[in-house]
Amino acid sequence: MTSPVDPVAHNRAAWDAQVEGGNEWTQPVGPGVIARAREGDWSVVLIGYQPVPRDWFPAELRGADVLALASGGGQQGPVLAAAGANVTVFDNSPRQLARDTEVAEREGLVLRTVLGDMRDLSAFADASFDLVFNPVSNLFCPELAPVWRECYRVLRPGGALLCGFMNPDLYIFDAEAMDARGELIVRHPLPYSDLEALGLEEVQRRWGPAAPVEYSHTLGEQIGGQLAAGFVITAFDETPHHSLEATAKYMPGYFATRAVKPA
């Protein structure tokens, strides 16, 4: 049954509110981070707090055209711009994009921001980018196949998609019991959707009116979907979830892939 909730509109308002609430992924980097990036000392994250291996990036980042996909918040985009890339930040939240503009204006960086749903990159022509950088965000998107198709389309041959995403197995647990008491109680079948498993009213009761809605997605959708779009996966990484201590000793919380569009 189709949900009456528009996840794009809901999550746009939710992430705008997350900015107001001071969510850690909405806090812009400071001047010191930008100064070091300009000198070649930089790192960014796809999953948790783990820096992305430098060999996942183009050998020469300076001058590369980079799409920071669903990556607003004044963090990764400005760092990559300070390192010399031509960066476009694309995000569903105007307030998150404003964070990137804030850093760019403060530091004299050239950086473009574009508002939109990650499933629709029609603002960009085919073969516009050398790199798509997509930190953990597709849990807020109800379907992934259009995302991978669009990423493939806007990349140049030989370009890479760097993507971080949640381990879908985390969603089998009752999140309230896990958050409140550290108990791992299996409750939900996969794939999981907040709207189908709980409903918006229950989501907001548990986590407040600013809570975005989430989707687990299968590894078939994540990895298989990239392959189906035409990508070749060249690297893989994983790390525990940065805030779910109850699961950390049993399973990784995040996965990351480096996928290349064949030349």
- Going through the chain in order, the beta strands assigned E by DSSP cover 45-47, 50-51, 65-69, 86-91, 111-115, 129-134, 155-166, 232-239, 254-260
pLDDT given at position 223 = 98
| pTM exceeds 0.95 for this model | yes
Residue with token string 């949640």: 166
Going from the C-alpha of 44 to that of each of 26, 146, 204, the distances in angstroms are: 14, 25, 31
pLDDT given at position 1 = 41
pLDDT given at position 101 = 98
Confirm if 122 and 90 have CB atoms less than 8 A apart: no
pLDDT given at position 3 = 61
Residue-wise pLDDT tens for the chain (263 aa)? 446 899 999 999 999 999 999 999 999 999 999 999 999 999 999 999 999 999 999 999 999 999 999 999 999 999 999 999 999 999 999 999 999 999 999 999 999 999 999 999 999 999 999 999 999 999 999 999 999 999 999 999 999 999 999 999 999 999 999 988 999 999 999 999 999 999 999 999 999 999 999 999 999 999 999 999 999 999 999 999 999 999 999 999 999 999 999 99
Tell me how far apart the alpha carbons of residues 14 and 57 are, in angstroms, rounded to a whole number: 31
Map residue 167 onto helix, strand or coil: coil
Q: H-type helices in 39-174, by residue range?
A: 76-82, 94-107, 145-154
Q: Positive or negative, the Cα torsion across 223, 226, 228, 232?
A: negative
Confirm if 158 and 137 have CB atoms less than 8 A apart: no
CATH of domain 7-167+216-260: 3.40.50.150
Confirm if 91 and 120 have CB atoms less than 8 A apart: no
Confirm if 106 and 128 have CB atoms less than 8 A apart: no
Q: Hey, where are the domains in the chain?
A: 7-167+216-260
Closest Cα partner for 103 from 195, 50, 32, 174? 32
